[in-house]
Amino acid sequence: MYLIAGLGNPTREYEKTRHNVGFSVIDVLADKYNIDVSDRKHKALCGRGVIEGEKVLLLKPQTFMNLSGESIREAVDYYKIDPEDIIVIYDDISLDPGQLRIRLKGSAGGHNGIKNIIAHLGTQEFPRIKVGVGAKPPKMDLADYVLSRFGAEEQKLMDEAFGEAAEAAVMMMTAGAERAMNHYNAKKKAE
């Protein structure tokens, strides 16, 4: 079984903010593959289903971003999921809006949600999909920026990116993470 976790913050107040792009990608997957993500388990909203022949658990941690690892750890322990079968999807301010970057492992790079996941799993070796949300404007507080919403033009780019990130997650499961990295990491550079 694969665990696909999209990071974000619960409650209406944070819907559609830059920090909640992980939730948006989970919503795309849930809609496309008809998976109900409304079970309240593992400190998350989650749903089990099948994507392209692979059993999956879609997870939207409800612990708030900085404690995402608590939820993921509970799900991993319950379903006995190996770290390499986890795909974490989250926002990245070092990438242009809508740009994707897939990594097999790595440090948190300053992202508190990822820091917490690494702390709870005891490893940095889990695949992830970073979804670019653009750089913070000078003089703007980072927390205010990541909790802000996209402008109309950016939102169009982001909606496309949510679809692409969902496709990337599927490719990671069906064709392997290396293939997905080669396809999606090279994409924006070529355009």
Residue 186 banded pLDDT, cuts 50, 70, 90? confident
Phi-psi region for residue 53, left (φ > 0), alpha (ψ -120 to 50) or beta? left
What is the span of the domain harbouring residue 156? 2-190
Tokens of 53: 């022949």
Number of domains in the chain: 1
82-107 tens-digit pLDDT: 999 999 999 999 999 999 999 999 99
Q: Which pLDDT does position 188 carry in this prediction?
A: 55
User: Which amino acid makes up residue 123?
Assistant: T
Binding-site residue ranges for tRNA: 14, 64, 66, 112
Among the listed residues 19, 42, 111, 120, the single catalytic one is 19
Binding-site residue ranges: 14, 64, 66, 112
- Residue 19 a catalytic site member: yes
**Mean pLDDT, rounded, of the chain:** 95
123-132 tens-digit pLDDT: 999 999 999 9
Please give the Cα distance from 149 to 20 (Å, whole number). Answer: 10
- CATH code of the domain covering residue 72: 3.40.50.1470
